[in-house]
Amino acid sequence: MKHQDPLFDYISSARLPTRWGQFTIHGFVEKHSGQEHVALSYGQWQEDDVVPIRIHSECLTGDALFSTRCDCGAQLEKALQNIVEQGKGVLLYLRQEGRGIGLLNKIRAYHLQDKGMDTVEANEHLGFDADLRDYSICGYMLDCLKVSKVNLMTNNPRKIQALRDLGIEVVARTPIDHGITDDNRIYIRTKTQKLGHEFDPHLLK
């Protein structure tokens, strides 16, 4: 593991048994903000291998509280399952709640959505951009884990470009169309129409 970087620090690693299999959890911190992030790795690879990965931004309501207003929890579980089934992979878990606006502001945005706004309109009404997430730490995390070529599990083309800008070779993209419900269908349509996410259109009917 790399320990010296002007912007980020690797902290430590430990065994993390899960219901899908035994991962290793790695801790990282942004030096300027103190924000903490983790990576979960599974299996082994050579430095030139194409490694399945998922970049997942924290969603307390979806990941931990089982909300079906979004598809985050279902995508998180499917990504971990896919990694184990493929025998190797990495999940980068970034502490960027609510596309970077924070938990309490996300609840405020939910309140506006309850009144008829979509997710982009609600964020903008609160004075935020539609998506404030920053993926710059991903390059450092993947470098520490000796990953340079990836098969990225995502529906979001912005993540592909973000990794390429960091010098990571995105060899392939695997869609992760999971967790679509009657409660979040409009939310997912908004992500498709306004944020450029790519979902199977048949799933959104």
Q: How many Cα atoms are found within 13 Å in the side-chain-facing hemisphere of 9?
A: 10
Residue with tokens 């970087």: 5
Single-letter amino acid code for the residue at 134: D
137 marked as part of a ligand binding site: no
- How far apart are alpha carbons 39 and 149 in whole angstroms? 16
Angle subtended by helix axes 136-144 and 157-165, to nearest 10: 70
47 marked as part of a ligand binding site: no
| 131 among known catalytic residues | yes
Per annotation, catalytic residue among 63, 71, 131, 143: 131
138 marked as part of a ligand binding site: no
How many CB atoms lie under 10 A from the CB of residue 191? 24
| DSSP helix/strand/coil, 124 | helix
| 71 among known catalytic residues | no
190 marked as part of a ligand binding site: no
18 marked as part of a ligand binding site: no
119 marked as part of a ligand binding site: yes
- How far apart are alpha carbons 92 and 88 in whole angstroms? 14
98 marked as part of a ligand binding site: yes
144 marked as part of a ligand binding site: no
Per annotation, catalytic residue among 63, 118, 133, 143: 133
Indicate the annotated binding residues: 54-59, 70, 72, 75, 97-99, 119, 154, 159
Residues annotated as catalytic (active site), given as ranges:
131, 133
Indicate the annotated binding residues for Zn(2+): 59, 70, 72
